[in-house]
Amino acid sequence: MVDVKFLCGILATLYMVNSVTGKPPNIVFILTDDQDSEIGGMTPMVKTKKLIANEGMTFDNMFVATPVCCPSRSSIFTGKYLHNHLAINNSVAGNCSSPDFQKTQEINAFPVFMKQQGYSTFFAGKYLNLYGEDTTGGVQHVPPGWDSWVGLVGNSVYYNYNLSINGTRETHGSNYTEDYLTDVIHRRGMEFLSYQNADTPFFMMLSTPACHEPWTSAPQYEDHFSDIVAQRTGSYNVHGKDKHWIIDQAITPIPNDTATYIDGIYRNRWRTLMSVEDMVEDVVSTLLKKFGLDNTYIFYSSDNGYHIGQFSLPMDKRNLYEFDVRVPLLVRGPGIRPRSVNKENVLNIDFAATFMDLAGATIPDYIDGRSIVPLLHDNAKLPFRQHFLTEYHGESARINPGCDQLDNQGIAWCHTYAHCQCEDAWNNTYTCIRYSDGQQHYKYCEIADNDNFVEMYDLESDPYEFMNIAKTADPDLVNQLKTNLAQLSQCVGASCHGNTELYGSNLLS
Ligand SMILES: *[C@@H]1O[C@H](CO)[C@@H](O)[C@H](O)[C@H]1NC(C)=O
Ligand SMILES: *[C@@H]1O[C@H](CO)[C@@H](O)[C@H](O)[C@H]1NC(C)=O
Ligand SMILES: *[C@@H]1O[C@H](CO)[C@@H](O)[C@H](O)[C@H]1NC(C)=O
Ligand SMILES: *[C@@H]1O[C@H](CO)[C@@H](O)[C@H](O)[C@H]1NC(C)=O
Ligand SMILES: *[C@@H]1O[C@H](CO)[C@@H](O)[C@H](O)[C@H]1NC(C)=O
Ligand SMILES: *[C@@H]1O[C@H](CO)[C@@H](O)[C@H](O)[C@H]1NC(C)=O
Ligand SMILES: *[C@@H]1O[C@H](CO)[C@@H](O)[C@H](O)[C@H]1NC(C)=O
């Protein structure tokens, strides 16, 4: 019998020698918007799974540190938890793409390091939700580190938008052939690849609007999946018992016209993803033809999860539950075993450190995340991460309980189906710690509302988070998690790594 572990060790060593003697690897990072991993978001991604997952590694436990677009993207670019990058919500006042964020965070974000390491760098698509607006520097502002910049002004849309092309405005209308944003990102990416040569490593980031609202698919995909409905598994249409107020006020059963409406949204999400499938296919085949794929890493992920009907909430993200905080992560590249599945806890704050590591940069000690390169090459010290944070600041003013969040943002779905459901409010503000050691898996959350509500779940026995055990669990365990949550909420750099070396090996014993 061949010793598989031994072979893997040799392979990992060979690849490391390769990367020392050869040039740094090319990196492609595909980031989708609002694509979940818990409610079937990856099911339609047949080509993506074939071309990336089957040729590389799938991470089963990939989480975002905060489940909403701008704060999550800020974590991706800076490698920091929300309490350190301070982009707390999707508004300029909350530092989404704000002048303060640009001055204090963006200047040290990972693209700057890629550039310093000699990479040719390219970005296309949605950046931070308020990028390019007058209040955030206009289209002239090109974030540092990018050689070639195709940045969407504002939040995800599919038609009728402005781009910043290296600081110059380009206006798009609604002609599919010319303007469909996912395809524009796709074509710009191909154009960038056509200029690359084998001597200079490149970093290419393609950041699609799919599958975010308003869910406009390409015309050729409009009729796909007509028999698909939102997944009825898990907590779909189950009333959340003993949960904080925003969950408690959901209507169960979900009214029929709302259920029909959100089934339509579910299908439309999948339809928008078909254009991402086409892009992935073209990227992989172009890379293969032009460079071969032996020195290129491809990462595929999303900025937050999503719910459609879970705990009877019609649709959105922003919650502390698995459906909103788990996202896909697929990685293909040299030294990664095909069809491998990794169960370690990895986070969106790990991208920055990972890209710096691959590029041979020294990872600054203020970075909260960790390089996952050792996991990719099967030579990491395990467990990789025993505990981590989720941090979220609820959006909206303290007026009009119910739908003010949706109204403030001008999100129309509140008015287009029968019942109007509040999906966020100022007091949906929380921090959670998640602890897992391979056997025990706990989530402990403190909600900053008028009740100081606490939720705790044993994810091993209760993966759908039906039973809040905050009042029934062993008080020592609850206190330990409470203490660790307080510590982790203040962490910086290494103290955020969440591995046992820093906290003692017997955290819960
Ligand atoms: C926004 O960022 C600046 C600079 O880091 C910080 O001083 C400020 O407190 C942040 N704002 C919020 C609302 O956290
Ligand atoms: C942006 O400018 C750089 C440097 O001149 C150029 O190589 C690149 O092609 C430009 N990008 C776009 C999208 O025009
Ligand atoms: C695009 O930019 C033009 C010029 O500033 C502006 O008039 C228009 O409203 C913008 N379009 C969108 C969809 O923001
Ligand atoms: C859309 O753009 C294509 C390609 O430029 C053009 O041939 C076509 O006439 C345009 N369609 C409309 C309705 O303007
Ligand atoms: C709602 O849908 C359910 C399941 O399809 C059905 O049994 C029920 O009669 C419907 N209710 C109304 C009021 O139409
Ligand atoms: C975002 O945070 C800032 C600073 O706390 C606050 O002023 C603003 O109202 C928040 N935005 C929303 C939509 O809640
Ligand atoms: C949360 O905020 C909403 C809107 O202001 C309010 O109606 C509700 O009573 C608050 N609940 C708690 C527990 O703080």
| Span 376-391, pLDDT tens digits | 999 999 999 999 999 9
Count Cβ atoms within 10 A of the Cβ of residue 157 and give its class: 0-12 exposed, 13-18 middle, 19 or more buried.
Answer: middle
**Mean pLDDT, range 275-298, rounded to an integer:** 97
pLDDT, residue 420, reads 74
Tokens read off for 480:
């330990």
User: 86 alpha carbon to ligand 3 midpoint, in Å?
Assistant: 29
Choice between 508 and 114, residue whose per-residue pLDDT is larger: 114
pLDDT at 204: 98
- At 453, list the tokens: 């509500």
User: Distance of alpha carbon 261 from its chain centroid, rounded?
Assistant: 26
Answer yes or no: is the C-beta of 164 below 6 A from any ligand 2 atom.
no
pLDDT at residue 345, as a whole number:
97
Least confident of 62-76, 243-257, 340-354, 468-482: 243-257
Alpha helices in 96-222 (DSSP H): 99-104, 110-116, 176-179, 181-195
Single-letter amino acid code for the residue at 312: S
Task: Please state the atom number of ligand 4 nearest to the C-alpha of residue 175.
Answer: 1
Choosing from 395, 400, 426, 428 the residue with most ligand 6 atoms within 8 A of its CB, the one to mutate for a pocket test is 395
Ligand 1: residues within 6 Å at CB? 86, 88, 94-95, 100, 104
Whether the per-residue pLDDT at 65 is higher than 60: the answer is yes
158 lines ligand 3 (CB under 6 A): no
CA pair distance 67, 37, nearest whole angstrom: 13
State how far the Cα of 326 lies from the Cα of 64, in Å rounded to an integer: 6
Rounded Cα distance, 509 and 507, in Å: 6
Whole-number Å distance, alpha carbon 91 to ligand 6 midpoint, is 6
Closest CA to 414 of 314, 324, 323: 314
Using CA of residue 313, residue 326, residue 266, residue 269, what is the dihedral sign?
positive
Among protein residues, the one whose CA lies closest to atom 12 of ligand 6: 395
The pick from 175, 184, 187 for probing ligand 4's pocket by mutation, whose C-beta has the most ligand atoms within 8 angstroms, reads: 175
Q: What would the pLDDT profile of 167-206 be if each residue is shown by its tens digit?
A: 999 999 999 999 999 999 999 999 999 999 989 999 999 9
**Mean pLDDT across the stretch 94-121?**
98
- For 128-154, what is the mean pLDDT? 98
Q: What is the mean pLDDT of the chain?
A: 91
pLDDT score, position 170? 98
Weakest-pLDDT range from 13-27, 238-252, 336-350: 13-27
pLDDT at 67 over 70: yes
In angstroms, the CA 78 to CA 287 distance is: 27
Going along the chain from its start, the domains and CATH numbers come out as 4-220+267-381 (3.40.720.10)
- What share of the chain in percent tops pLDDT 70? 89
Work out the pLDDT band at 372, boundaries 50, 70, 90. Answer: very high
126, 159, 162: which to mutate for ligand 3, most atoms within 8 A of CB? Answer: 162
pLDDT computed for residue 249 by the predictor: 84
The burial class, CB within 10 Å (0-12 / 13-18 / 19+), for 285 is exposed
| Per-residue pLDDT band at 114 (split at 50, 70, 90) | very high
Q: 399 CA distance to ligand 7 centroid (A)? A: 9
Q: Which residues line ligand 7 (CB under 6 A)?
A: 245, 398, 401, 425, 427, 449-451
Q: Is the pLDDT of residue 9 over 60?
A: no
To the query of whether residue 69 is one of the catalytic residues in this protein, the response is: yes
Measured CA to CA, the distance from residue 13 to residue 7 in angstroms comes to 10
The 8-class DSSP code of residue 310 comes to B
**pLDDT for 500 beyond 50:** yes
140 pocket-lining for ligand 3 (C-beta < 6 Å): no
pLDDT band at 402 (very low <50, low <70, confident <90, very high): very low
For the segment 78-87, the average pLDDT, to the nearest whole number, is 98
pLDDT for 497? 95
Q: Which residue has the tokens 């390089």?
A: 371
* Ligand 4 atom 3 nearest Cα: 177
- Which of 8, 69, 422, 496 is the catalytic position? 69
Nearest ligand, CA of residue 257?
5
Cα of 190 to ligand 6 centre, how many Å?
Answer: 38
Query: Stretch 66-83: mean pLDDT, rounded?
Result: 98
Q: How close is the Cα of 231 to the center of ligand 7, in Å?
A: 30
